[in-house]
Structures are given as C-alpha cells and as structure tokens.
Structure 1
C-alpha cells in the first residue's frame, strides 16, 4: 500500500515549504514520496526547488482539483449568508478558496497519506501515524477540541441537533495535520453531504476557517473512524504541537515538551510574510525562530541571514511615528 505526504503550498509560502521539506528529510527520512498540492498557480519558485528533490512532485490532476473545487462551491452555496458576508468584507467569491484544494488528497496517488500545511516543521518520525491508519480511517494529533468556536458556529441552534456536545468536545480537530486514506469520499458520499447541507445544516459551518470547518463536517457527519493521539496518549506521553505554547525546550534543533519529543511544530497564526521578511534579512523575532531557520537553511547554511542586534518582536506595537503615518494614510 502506497504511503505518502501531501503539502498545500505555493510561492507565497516558499521559505516555509523549504523548511518543512528539509525537516521531513532530517527527522522522518526520505522514504516517503511527497506531493505538493498547488494552492494556486504561483509555483515558479516551488518548481525550481523541486528540481533538486527527486522524491517530491506537484499534484497535476486538474480534473480532481476541479471536482473538489466544485464541491467546495456547492458547500458554501448551501450556506445561508456566507457569500453575502464575505462580499461585505471585501472578499470576492469563497474566502481562502485555495485552501479547499487540500481535499484533493482523498483522490490522489497515495493509498495512505499524511497531509501537512506548509507552516509546519516535522521533528520526529511519522511512522506511528501511518501505523494507526491500519486501525482508523482518519488520524490527528492536536488540541483543537478545546476550542470548538474555530470549527463550528456555536451560535447555531442546529449544531447540537447534528452533533452531540460529547462529539464536539472529543472529535473536532485542526486541519493543518492529519492522516487518512484515499477514496473515503466518493461521488455518492459527497452528494449525500451536500444534500444534508442544503437542507439547513450548512449554517453550523464556521466561515472564517472555511476548509477546516468543512473537513470536520465531512469526517464527523460521515461517521468515519477517527483517532486523536492527544486524547489517547497518557498525560506523561503526549506533547503539544502549537507555536503558541511557550514551554517547549530546544535541544539540537528538536523541541521537547516536558521531556517528550514533539512530532511537529505548527507555526499557526503567524503570517507567511513574517517568514519571508526574516529570510530576507529583517531581524524580527517570533517563537521558535531558530528552529525554523535551522531547517530553512539546512542545506544552504551560507545563505542564512546573520543578525547582530537584538531582534524586534513580531507582535511589538507600532511606534508612535508609524501610527501617525498610518493615520495619515502614508503607511500600511
């Protein structure tokens, strides 16, 4: 059975993609084929990078991409006011439409796969995730279940009619990293999901994380066997995975959570431009910056930016002068 890794990316997240690819090679090995699902057509730098990576390809089946694009469109057309609200906020069409392309991995070349957002670095073996897919059809390792408001519309009266409170607090997940299998969502199952959404269930979807809410709905509404390591590992074994956790310890470019090695670190919530700016030489600090820079320049240490002064925090308040320029419309 073919095992592989999918990554959603384009040139905008180029530096993060390189760091992720290098971290997979360093900590999970080269045995897994990797397929880049294009967020959009901006792939010039990505394609140049892949010329030096024999195990990495680009997902080029436009028929599959189109099919899932049509699915996502139907999902949001079923929502009572998504397009209206997005338009009022200056968004044309579906918000972050390219993010929905991650669903293409369910029809891609790998029988069993792990999907990764580009803003991740891998810090350990992924073998145990693939092994768990021998028992379950969907596998995650995160703590999103503690924050359901970023997955479903908690103000919807229909939410608890569709999913029990116990399911909401135990089954929801972050869509940035998951393992699953090819063929879980054939045409018949997709049509069934659309039918339920068109009958009023679409109102439970959370519009500000459009791909994440859909994927959670797809898995939970279909009754697919899922497994979250964060809920099954003992407290002494499990680790965090988010950049928002500030207690991880770094040893030899690996992070540890109370002595346990992290599987991955998700730089969730940090804009891609921040990584681009740092790689271009701007001395901006952010959590676990050194870990990112190590993997970004793993094969190009001479190109790594050298910083001599104290960095400026990425979330530091703007100076009085900058605030004045913004007020005058002279700065963004």
Structure 2
C-alpha cells in the first residue's frame, strides 16, 4: 500500500509551489510527492522541486496528454476557461494506491497525509465548507429541478483544490462516460466564475462514489480553510479558528491573488521563505478593490456562519 501527494504546476506558479512544498516538508519529510505538469512549461519547476523536496514527475506523460485531450474534446474547443485543470485526473492512474491532491495556492499546517487514515471507512475525502455556499461555482438550480440530485446530495459539494481518493476507483472509461454525460447537459453547471474542472469532478464523485466523507464533519467539526475568511488568528506559524477553537489544517487562497496585502499574506510569506534568512521586503501596500471586495465577502459569509 503506497500513499502520496499529487500536485499540478508549471514554471509560472513556482513561487506558490515553493510555499506549498516548504509547508508540506515542514511537517512531513518523507511522504512522496508527484508533479503532474500543467502544461509543457514545467521543466524549471520540476528540477527545482526534485532537487529541494524530492518531488518526481508523473511517469507516463503521454497518458496525461491523451487523457486531458480526450476529456477536453468531449466538451468541444473553447468551452473551458482553463482546460489544463483536467490533467489532475491522472491522479486516479498514477503510482499511489491512496493519494491526496493539493492545489499550489495552499499551505498546510500539519502532516496532511495522515488524513488518509479515513480511508478505513471511506473511498473519497474532501475537507472544506464549499457546500455551505449552496450550488454556486458548481451547479445551477436546474440540476435539482430535473431531480439529478436531491438537496441532501448537494451537501456533498466540495472544492476541487484539496481532495483524496484511491487508485483506479474510477476507470479511464468511467471518466469519459461521466464527461460525456455532463457535456450533454451543460445547463446543470455553473461556469460563471470561469471554473473548469470543479463542477465536472463534483458531478462525477457524487454520481459514482457513495462512500465519501468531508473531514469538516468529523466529531467536533473542523475549522475552515478559505483565505477569504477573516476570523483566523495567527499562533506561531499556523492559523487558529477562534470560532471553533481549533488550529487550521491548511489554508487555501481559492479565488484570491496571493500578493502583498492579500489575506494572510504573512503566513504565505513565512512558508515561501522558510529556508531564506533574508526574505525580500514587501512593496508599499496598495490594496486593490478586488481584494477589498473579497475580504468583505468573506466577512459576510462569516457573519452568516458559513465560513
């Protein structure tokens, strides 16, 4: 039985990848990590991550290309804003019997692979409060109107930046079949914020994998993980959720540009320059309207008890 972590990256997200890998290795020196190249511009980041963190490149690159291209073609040219996100579906067929997928705009605050111990009872894991926002960024109301899912199924909605499962739980043909089913009903999916894979992978998991578990529903619940939630407090080099009196497991800047002035910039910067005794100084703070809007949105969600 092998366990490991998959990430997707290219040279463009080198800074994010360094922060993520520094955080993973801060709490876990040994778990193997495999890079799924996001596109052809990955050689510099692959060399750096291999040298500093022991990260290997996914062995069968031809398979990744074939898989992602066919999934892309099922919907047709130009349908998705970021079709390369589908390359992460190679996780199902890689070297690890049990795997965790993590986006690079995340840092972790624990030995994150230990969450796979829930596989004693489940086949699929997520760990977020995406479901508390309802259908947004995943489905449209049409999916309930047509009774594709019930209201209780919607509670299984998850964020596509952190999820875990088991090798070959879905076959390659399963993916093609599910994507074709989705392509036949684009009216079921919310792509208004230019999401690509999240609606489709949610549909697939809710349809095909019944033994799934959202870790935030563990006994005593769990803290949030979205960087747009303003209530988190720093304690040392981790964040703490005072609303639930717990330390965060990870922080995800989903939909938020990571830059000086963004939420929890100090935490990201700590992990990015964890091995650097002289991190660069931040430029003068110029908070954009977009950052302020996202912060206020997070505050609103918090007041509503949804973050």
Q: What is the TM-score with the length of structure 1 in the denominator?
A: 0.79
Query: Would you say the 8 A contact 1:7–1:35 is kept in 2?
Result: yes
Q: Root-mean-square deviation (CA), in Å?
A: 2.3
Asked if 1:245 is matched to 2:226, the reply is no
Query: Would you say the 8 A contact 1:50–1:56 is kept in 2?
Result: yes
**Aligned match for 1:149, one of 136, 148, 171:** 136
Asked if 1:294 is matched to 2:278, the reply is no
| Secondary structure class of the residue paired with 2:117 | helix
Deviation, 1:190, is 2.9
Cα 1:223–1:54 change in 2 (3 A) is closer
Cα 1:18–1:159 change in 2 (3 A) is farther
Identify the residue that residue 180 of structure 1 maps to in structure 2. 165
Deviation, 1:75, is 4.1
| Secondary structure class of the residue paired with 1:47 | helix
Identify the residue that residue 43 of structure 1 maps to in structure 2. 42
Deviation, 1:158, is 6.3
Q: Deviations over 1:28-55 (max 9, x none)?
A: x112101111111112430331242352
Asked if 1:206 is matched to 2:193, the reply is no
**Aligned match for 1:109, one of 95, 103, 121:** 95
Query: Would you say the 8 A contact 1:64–1:107 is kept in 2?
Result: no
Report the Cα distance in structure 2 between the residues aligned to 1:111 and 1:98, rounded to whole angstroms: 24
Identify the residue that residue 60 of structure 2 maps to in structure 1. 61
Deviation, 1:149, is 1.6
Deviation, 1:141, is 0.7
| Secondary structure class of the residue paired with 1:149 | coil
**Aligned match for 1:313, one of 287, 292, 300:** 287
Deviation, 1:160, is 4.2
Task: Point out 4+ residue stretches in structure 1 off by more than 4 angstroms.
Answer: 157-160
Report the Cα distance in structure 2 between the residues aligned to 1:140 and 1:294, rounded to whole angstroms: 26
Q: Deviations over 1:111-140 (max 9, x none)?
A: 101100000001112244110122111101
Asked if 1:165 is matched to 2:151, the reply is yes
Please list, as runs of the form range in 1=range in 2, the aligned pairs for 1:225-236 lying within 5 A after superposition. 225-235=211-221
Asked if 1:254 is matched to 2:238, the reply is yes
Identify the residue that residue 110 of structure 2 maps to in structure 1. 124
Aligned length: 287
Uncovered stretches (5+) of structure 1, i.e. residues with no partner: 78-82, 84-91, 276-283, 319-332
Report the Cα distance in structure 1 between the residues aligned to 2:166 and 2:223, rounded to whole angstroms: 25
Report the Cα distance in structure 2 between the residues aligned to 1:256 and 1:20, rounded to whole angstroms: 18
Q: Deviations over 1:245-276 (max 9, x none)?
A: 111111111111123111100011123xx54x
Q: What is the TM-score with the length of structure 2 in the denominator?
A: 0.85
| Secondary structure class of the residue paired with 1:41 | coil
Asked if 1:30 is matched to 2:14, the reply is no
Identify the residue that residue 136 of structure 1 maps to in structure 2. 122
Cα 1:135–1:317 change in 2 (3 A) is closer
Deviation, 1:159, is 5.4
Report the Cα distance in structure 1 between the residues aligned to 2:186 and 2:132, rounded to whole angstroms: 22
Bigger Rg, which one: 1
Report the Cα distance in structure 1 between the residues aligned to 2:291 and 2:81, rounded to whole angstroms: 28
Deviation, 1:291, is 0.7
Query: Would you say the 8 A contact 1:124–1:261 is kept in 2?
Result: no
Deviation, 1:306, is 1.9
Deviation, 1:187, is 3.4
Report the Cα distance in structure 2 between the residues aligned to 1:109 and 1:297, rounded to whole angstroms: 30
Deviation, 1:288, is 0.8
Deviation, 1:239, is 0.3
Please list, as runs of the form range in 1=range in 2, the aligned pairs for 1:68-79 lying within 5 A after superposition. 68-77=67-76
